[in-house]
Structure 1
Amino acid sequence: MAAERTVLVVDDTASIRLLIRTNLELEGFRVEEASDGVECLERVDEIAPDLITVDVVMPQLNGFDTVQALRARESTAYVPIVMVTTQAQATDIRRGRAAGADAYVVKPFDPDQLVDTIRSLLL
C-alpha cells in the first residue's frame, strides 16, 4: 500500500526528521524533507507529496501558518496533513485542526502510532 507514496516531513530538528524518515522508509514510504515552513512551501509542488507532516514550533513560519498556507493552495488543499509536535495543550490541538490539520501526533511519539495515523489518512 505504501509503495510509491511520498511523505514530506517538515521539522526544524534534523534528528526528528531522521526518526520520522527512518520509520516511514522501513514501511515502504518515500520521504522528502523540509527544515521549515518556508522551505516546505517552496518545494511542495515539485515534491507533490501524498501526505505532509508538520512541526508547530519552527523558525520563519510556524506549523499553524504553514498548514493554513498549504490549505490555501489549490495543489495542496486536499493533501492530508499530520501535525507532529510537542505542543500538546487542548488549545494547540484545536488550533491545528482549525488551521486544517487532519491529525495531531504529540512528541515524543510512538513510531507505530505515527505510521498507523499516516496509513489511515492514505486509505
Structure 2
Amino acid sequence: MPTVLVVDDTASIRFLIRTNLELAGFEVTEAVDGVDGLEQLRAAAQAGTLPDAVTIDVMMPRQGGVATVAAIRSDPLLRDLALVMLTTQNHPADVQRGLQAGVDAYVTKPFDPDELVQTVRTAIESRAD
C-alpha cells in the first residue's frame, strides 16, 4: 500500500485529502506545516519508513511549501520523494516557483479528487523509474 504524508495547515483540507487518498488505497499521515513535515520525514528516514509521496500546501505558518520542498530536495535522505504541491496559489509565477523548487506536480484547490489521486500515483511512478 503506497503511503503519503499530507502537509497542510488547515485541518479540514487535510481531512479531505486524507479521505480521498485512503479511498484510493493509500495509507496517509499528516503534518500541520513545513517544519512538522520535515521533522516527520527525517524521523521516518531514520526509521527506514519514508512515505512514497508528500502533498504540500504553499501558504503555511512557520515554513511554507516552497521552502519545505527546497529543504526536501537538498536533503540526501529525502530528495527522491515524490512531491505534489497542492494549493490555492494558481498564478503562473506561483506554479513556476513550485516547479523550480522541485515539485513533481502542481495541483490547485479546489481539486478534483480523481485528478489528485492520479497525480499522486503518477508522481510516485515517475520517481520509481
Q: Using the alignment, how far apart are the partners of 1:83 and 1:54 within structure 2? A: 5
Q: Match of 1:106?
A: 108
Residues 57-91 of structure 1 deviation map (CA, whole Å, 9 limit, x = unaligned): 00010100000001111111010100000000000
Q: Following superposition, which runs of at least 4 residues in structure 1 exceed 2 angstroms of deviation?
A: none
Superposed displacement of residue 22, structure 1? 0.4
Residue 8 of structure 1 aligns to a residue in which SS?
Answer: strand
Compute the TM-score of the two structures, normalised by the length of structure 1: 0.95
Q: Match of 2:58?
A: 56
> Aligned residues, how many?
120
Q: Using the alignment, how far apart are the partners of 2:123 and 2:57 within structure 1? A: 18
Superposed displacement of residue 101, structure 1? 0.5
Residues 29-69 of structure 1 deviation map (CA, whole Å, 9 limit, x = unaligned): 10000000000011113331110000000001010000000
Superposed displacement of residue 109, structure 1? 0.5
2:89 matched to 1:92?
no
> Could you list the runs of 5+ residues in structure 2 that have no partner in the other structure?
45-49
Report matched runs for 1:108-123 at 5 Å: 108-123=110-125
Compute the TM-score of the two structures, normalised by the length of structure 2: 0.90
Q: Match of 1:83?
A: 85
Residue 53 of structure 1 aligns to a residue in which SS?
Answer: strand
> Could you list the runs of 5+ residues in structure 1 that have no partner in the other structure?
none
Q: Using the alignment, how far apart are the partners of 1:94 and 1:43 within structure 2? A: 26
Q: Using the alignment, how far apart are the partners of 1:116 and 1:97 within structure 2? A: 18
Residue 111 of structure 2 aligns to a residue in which SS?
Answer: coil
Q: Using the alignment, how far apart are the partners of 2:103 and 2:31 within structure 1? A: 17
Equivalent of residue 13 in structure 2, options 8, 11, 16: 16
Return the structure number with greater helix share. 2
Q: Using the alignment, how far apart are the partners of 1:11 and 1:76 within structure 2? A: 19
